[in-house]
Structure 1
Amino acid sequence: MIDDLYRRPSFVDLISRSLQNYPDRVAFSTPTGDLTYDEVRRLISRVAFALRDAGVKPGDGVAMIAPNRPETFAAVTAAQSLGARYTPLHPMGSLADHVVVCTDAEISTLVVDAAQYADHGAALAAELDPSPRVLLLGGGSGSDVLAGPDTDGVIPSVARESDVALLGYTGGTTGRPKGVMLTHRSLATHLYLTVAHWQLPTELRFLGSTPLTHALQGIVPPVFHQGGSVVLTKGFDPAEFCETVRKHRITATFLVPSMIYVLLDYIAEHDVDLSSLQTILYGAAPMSPDRLEQALEVFGPVFVQFFGQSEAPNTVTTLSKQDHDPRRPERLASCGKPHPTLDVAVLDENDQPCPVGELGEVCVRGPLVMDGYWKQPELTAETLRNGWLHTGDVGRFDADNFLYLTDRKKDMLITGGFNIYPREVEDAVVTHPEVSAAAVIGVPDPKWGEAVTAFVVRTPGATVTADELVALVRERKGPVHAPKRLEFLDALPLTPLGKVDKKELRARFWGDRDRAVN
């Protein structure tokens, strides 16, 4: 049939073929032992057949909560191989959050790690109507998807590239959470782009300390595609990170900016050997150019930045190692250049291209982009209007086609009639050598409407005062940007994904108001 002749592989097909290419190589290293590529392939097959026998079929919603272990990766891949749509539940999320997500996603199967989340899974299933089937990772019971016989059968290939492979939720900080529908087409495109542009080392030993149910799930397949291995840790701890890099001679890893800040502060007071690192991927949140310059001094030219969002995951633009050039410090504020596979534009309010240097909304189109928001047709139409994904990010292009993000449109605050993008203030604050991190929000003010308010984490032993930092911002950005209030914190609150939790910072000031503007 002509459809078969031009059939493009699903995301799971790409994973399966990678595992077949390097059967004897180590795929995962864990504290309890190593698994080869062939062992991971057989594990995925075994779980897939167990899910199928339990009743999972194409189009079903499968959610999972589990820690960083190879079985987690296997269960996600197995569900997707059957044509089911996978919804991750973050281990740090609350029961109430998980109920909202599972209800909206119409989850019919819940997979939970038996050792850590069996009770949580049972409580979650009891809250849902209809109650989903609960399957366990481990535990040896009749519902254990790992208890079936080993098999040399191939990983099922039921999924089509148009099937929704990942239904991930975003935007839950305010209002109704949005289920982002990513098809096998989107995830396969992501894999192609990462292999082409992430500059991963030839000798690839990747340290995975972020959640395998979330961001790391999209990074493991490109590592396998290149025959690399993944060393898993339960989470991020700077001491454990440094020791793991030294012990395993790690050559690549992924860190969000907040992790890099913690790591830099740790390295400043400890003797560590991180000389094996050749690539540090970072993204998910803006990084201060000054702290990035500091990181380049510590680690050398190993950084690769990627920019994307849930609706167009991770690979809209890349700032390469070569473009992290301290001789061009202004470029450290960029998120890089668009990939040739995608159309990326900065558009005005009428969806017309903005001139070079002019601010507008960053918009994307191409095979990476989501199919829409689950059961939200009006929001989908608004976000995907006129043939573009409207990201909600404000940015500009320079004459060399580098993209610079100013902030999120929704994060803009208005003070005294002036539009202020918090990142501009944050970047000014962290230029001070005694500042580790900063977050800026607007708070209600009877005179200004919203008052620029900064929360700052100082480096160990720092003595810089609030007045000094306010004066620094005034000098660099002008009086409108200068914080009306500045508060020191031991650490910024973070979301489960490692981003600064501005919802928590705003809650003290905005309370239960319906609109976080004044």
Structure 2
Amino acid sequence: MLQDKVMAAGDATAGERGPWLPGGEPQAGRIARAWLRSDADKRAIEQVQPEDLLPGRTTYECIRAAAALEPAKPALILLRSADLAVPPRIITYAELMQRIVQAANLFSAVSGSERPSVALILPMVPEALIATWAAQTAGIACPINPYLEERVVASIMNAARATVLVISTAKFGPGAWDKLEAICAQVPTLRRVLIVESDDQASDFMRALESYPADRFVFEPTDDPHAEVMYLPTGGTTGAPKLVRMTHRGQLLNAWMVGSVIGSERDSVVGHAMPNFHVGGLNVIALRTMLYGQTLLTLTTDGFRNQGVIRNFWDIARHYRMTSVLATPTTAAAILAVPDVSSEGHSIVTFNCGASTVPLELMRAFHKRFGIWLREIWGMSEIHGVVTMNRNDGQQPLVGSVGSCLPYHTVKAFEVDASNTFLRECAPGERGVLCVTGPGVTPGYVDANFDGEFFVQGAPGGTRWANTGDLGAFDAQGFGWIFGRAKELIIRGGHNIDPRLIEEVLMCHPGVQTAAAIGRPDSAKGEMPIAYVQPKAGCSVAADELLQLCRERVQERAAVPIEIIVLEQMPLTAVGKISKPALRVDAMVRVSRNTAAAIVGESGSIDVEVDESGRRPRVVLTVMLRSGDSAVLSERLRHAFQQFEFEVFVDVVNGASASVS
């Protein structure tokens, strides 16, 4: 690896050259290649205009520049199976460029006089990346999570005014494609549907490309780096669609910065197991790999959701000489939990973790067993990817920190009021809401009504600052510390509890693989802390034992959980992090059922559901009354649920019903 050669050259040579790799100094028409290891390196990079680091102004121009270096080199490798005996699918840089041009021409032709807006509902197949970058070349790309509900998918497509839909089939398992007709019927702007691996030649995506030239565009693509070319859904799955507006420049600059920390050498092989509808999979991993002319190794169409990939991770890493990988802490814990495997002989230089906080015990245990430090990163869709990273300088990362800021960006802790108006800047080390400024910050949301809660009003210096919603601090040395989402704090009678106080204690138990603490609704305190745990395979853990562990080790008495629930499988999001919204729904159901049961008793049966179609979940409580006065029962239930801070709709089947706040 080139990094090894650079390290062997000695610090003196590196100091003379600064952050630039040999032959990688900024030069017009080619990509600059750096290795960011220190604050001095960051300052040196910031002396260069961001545009001068890149070989082009758009995603297409930059990928084309990389392809010109080695056209026959594998750009995309898709593992068809976690079994190494199964041959992979390989697409070279030359083929990738041809397909991008063809797809861009197709999207332009289909959309006519309108700017193409292409919705992409696909698993982790090469077609997803081809279609995304082609859509950005011709117009707008809108990648969508295939596992969202039909109504949510349709609302996102309508918000993006989709003219084309590229979708898959049930060959890849259950997904939104199972309700294709119903989705299309709700999107009036849609002109054509193209299906990846379709049995119908007329609708097959790759066959459709053959009708269009691969060596030239039949339209005039924009060369404006500030053009909005992607609407990326974010912010959950309920309520109005929240789509982040992304530009060529924002994506490319973030990809370049991440590569300067993880590795910018052309011979790198980048593990790809986060979905392409997520900023981590699409920009931080895939676009970054293409920008530097590296090889993207997709770890099956299911990524880390494929248990075979988890079991065979080190065999895959050795065989393909994988040099870097990005995963969630939950995935790292799953890899650590696999028994009787060896990491010996791997080529991984950097193993980054993102999407949620890395538990301290996991970081230490992973390094002890595999000799690799989990280097935490932090970012969000609204900044086109990542904004802080733990630099790979060969040393142990600062355990618990998300690292320091990437070039051209600043993060500070602010105190803001309920209307997101600036009150004051927090002192170094003081907790506040983390806000970021820099060229990577999104222009805003497609629905501008969301902008007010994101952009800080009255920020100092007239600079545009974005409220990330994360609580944290930056110390005097410039290292960031995340204490959780503002929305994830457990608020017990006005006492703010950091869930990590509980989670890190539970993760110390040898039988626990993952843990998540949330606030359970409480009629007196608002919330009370509880925790969910998933045991390691083959292990059995008792809730009472874990509660006692918390009583002994949780530092704040108010933070000791009142209940621990053991789950066989923790609910996960599509990117593999623990889904705390799903756990909150479970807690709401449990509390509602128990509260109602104490009142209804033997006089009826109870059914509890949660309606998530609005901006806030609502409990729907149905009582099948067998005896007693329905009006009296409804009033008693109404009174009981008045004390909770969530909405409940109570329905007693023999006619009485009431809506209770």
Q: What is the rounded CA distance, in whole Å, between the counterparts of 2:411 and 2:253 in structure 1?
A: 15
Aligned to 1:454: 531
CA apart distance, 1:184: 1.5
- Do the aligned residues in 2 keep the contact of 1:279 with 1:304 (CA within 8 Å)? yes
- Do the aligned residues in 2 keep the contact of 1:56 with 1:109 (CA within 8 Å)? no
1:135-174 equivalences in 2 (<5 Å): 135-139=194-198, 141-147=201-207, 148-149=210-211, 151-154=213-216, 157-174=221-238
Among candidates 143, 147, 155, match of residue 100 of structure 1: 155
Among candidates 317, 335, 360, match of residue 402 of structure 2: 335
CA apart distance, 1:145: 4.0
Q: Deviations over 1:181-224 (max 9, x none)?
A: 11122112212211222236663112222223433221222212
- Do the aligned residues in 1 keep the contact of 2:262 with 2:324 (CA within 8 Å)? no
- Once the two structures are overlaid, the 10-residue window that deviates more, 398-407 or 142-151, is 142-151
Q: What is the rounded CA distance, in whole Å, between the counterparts of 2:510 and 2:395 in structure 1?
A: 20
Aligned to 1:352: 424
Aligned to 1:278: 349
Among candidates 432, 435, 441, match of residue 512 of structure 2: 435
Q: What is the rounded CA distance, in whole Å, between the counterparts of 2:536 and 2:394 in structure 1?
A: 28
1:471-510 equivalences in 2 (<5 Å): 471-474=548-551, 475-510=553-588
Among candidates 459, 463, 466, match of residue 543 of structure 2: 466
- Once the two structures are overlaid, the 10-residue window that deviates more, 423-432 or 38-47, is 423-432
- Do the aligned residues in 2 keep the contact of 1:343 with 1:366 (CA within 8 Å)? yes
Q: What is the rounded CA distance, in whole Å, between the counterparts of 2:368 and 2:60 in structure 1?
A: 40
- Do the aligned residues in 2 keep the contact of 1:257 with 1:282 (CA within 8 Å)? yes
Aligned to 2:73: 25
Q: Would you say 1:128 and 2:187 are equivalent positions?
A: yes
TM-score by length of 2: 0.71
CA apart distance, 1:16: 2.1
CA apart distance, 1:129: 3.1
- Do the aligned residues in 2 keep the contact of 1:455 with 1:488 (CA within 8 Å)? yes
1:282-321 equivalences in 2 (<5 Å): 282-301=353-372, 303-321=374-392
Q: What is the rounded CA distance, in whole Å, between the counterparts of 2:73 and 2:372 in structure 1?
A: 29
Among candidates 216, 224, 227, match of residue 281 of structure 2: 216
Aligned to 2:126: 70
Paired residues in the alignment total 507
Aligned to 2:498: 421
- Do the aligned residues in 2 keep the contact of 1:61 with 1:107 (CA within 8 Å)? yes
Q: What is the rounded CA distance, in whole Å, between the counterparts of 1:119 and 1:402 in structure 2?
A: 46
CA RMSD of aligned residues (A): 2.7
Q: What is the rounded CA distance, in whole Å, between the counterparts of 2:147 and 2:117 in structure 1?
A: 21
- Do the aligned residues in 1 keep the contact of 2:251 with 2:385 (CA within 8 Å)? no
Among candidates 253, 277, 283, match of residue 189 of structure 1: 253
Q: Would you say 1:199 and 2:263 are equivalent positions?
A: yes
Residues 1:302 and 1:15: Cα distance change in structure 2 (over 3 Å) = farther
1:33-48 equivalences in 2 (<5 Å): 33-48=89-104
CA apart distance, 1:106: 1.9
Q: What is the rounded CA distance, in whole Å, between the counterparts of 2:394 and 2:343 in structure 1?
A: 27
Residues 1:110 and 1:210: Cα distance change in structure 2 (over 3 Å) = same
Residues 1:173 and 1:73: Cα distance change in structure 2 (over 3 Å) = closer
Aligned to 2:633: none
- Once the two structures are overlaid, the 10-residue window that deviates more, 422-431 or 461-470, is 461-470
CA apart distance, 1:161: 1.9
Q: Deviations over 1:247-296 (max 9, x none)?
A: 32222222111111111101x34456562222222211111111011111
Identity %: 26
- The higher relative CO (CA closer than 8 Å, separation ≥ 6) is in 1
Q: What is the rounded CA distance, in whole Å, between the counterparts of 1:323 and 1:427 in structure 2?
A: 26
- Classify the secondary structure of the residue corresponding to 1:345: strand
Q: What is the rounded CA distance, in whole Å, between the counterparts of 2:69 and 2:167 in structure 1?
A: 30
Q: What is the rounded CA distance, in whole Å, between the counterparts of 1:198 and 1:277 in structure 2?
A: 11
1:325-404 equivalences in 2 (<5 Å): 325=396, 331-349=398-416, 350-377=422-449, 379-385=450-456, 386=459, 387-404=464-481
Q: Which runs of 5+ in 1 are unaligned?
A: none
Q: Look at both structures and tell me which one has the larger radius of gyration over its CA atoms.
A: 2
Paired residue type of 2:59: F
Q: Deviations over 1:20-75 (max 9, x none)?
A: 22212111223453221111111111211222222266743210112222222111
CA apart distance, 1:482: 0.4
Paired residue type of 1:494: L
- Once the two structures are overlaid, the 10-residue window that deviates more, 50-59 or 390-399, is 50-59
- Once the two structures are overlaid, the 10-residue window that deviates more, 52-61 or 190-199, is 52-61
Aligned to 1:13: 61
CA apart distance, 1:119: 5.2
Q: Which runs of 5+ in 2 are unaligned?
A: 1-50, 81-87, 417-421, 590-609, 619-643, 646-661
CA apart distance, 1:298: 2.5
CA apart distance, 1:15: 1.8
- Do the aligned residues in 1 keep the contact of 2:108 with 2:116 (CA within 8 Å)? no
- Classify the secondary structure of the residue corresponding to 2:412: strand
- Do the aligned residues in 1 keep the contact of 2:119 with 2:166 (CA within 8 Å)? yes
- Once the two structures are overlaid, the 10-residue window that deviates more, 307-316 or 86-95, is 86-95
CA apart distance, 1:150: 7.2
Q: What is the rounded CA distance, in whole Å, between the counterparts of 2:152 and 2:237 in structure 1?
A: 11
- Do the aligned residues in 2 keep the contact of 1:118 with 1:136 (CA within 8 Å)? no
CA apart distance, 1:11: 2.6
Q: What is the rounded CA distance, in whole Å, between the counterparts of 2:554 and 2:351 in structure 1?
A: 30
Q: What is the rounded CA distance, in whole Å, between the counterparts of 2:71 and 2:442 in structure 1?
A: 33
Residues 1:292 and 1:309: Cα distance change in structure 2 (over 3 Å) = same
- Classify the secondary structure of the residue corresponding to 1:358: coil
Paired residue type of 2:249: R
- Do the aligned residues in 2 keep the contact of 1:182 with 1:371 (CA within 8 Å)? yes
TM-score by length of 1: 0.90
Aligned to 1:249: 321
- Do the aligned residues in 2 keep the contact of 1:412 with 1:422 (CA within 8 Å)? yes
- Do the aligned residues in 2 keep the contact of 1:173 with 1:503 (CA within 8 Å)? no
- Once the two structures are overlaid, the 10-residue window that deviates more, 145-154 or 18-27, is 145-154
Q: What is the rounded CA distance, in whole Å, between the counterparts of 1:180 and 1:169 in structure 2?
A: 6
Q: What is the rounded CA distance, in whole Å, between the counterparts of 1:173 and 1:54 in structure 2?
A: 29
Residues 1:449 and 1:67: Cα distance change in structure 2 (over 3 Å) = closer
Residues 1:37 and 1:205: Cα distance change in structure 2 (over 3 Å) = same
Residues 1:119 and 1:510: Cα distance change in structure 2 (over 3 Å) = closer
Q: What is the rounded CA distance, in whole Å, between the counterparts of 2:401 and 2:98 in structure 1?
A: 43
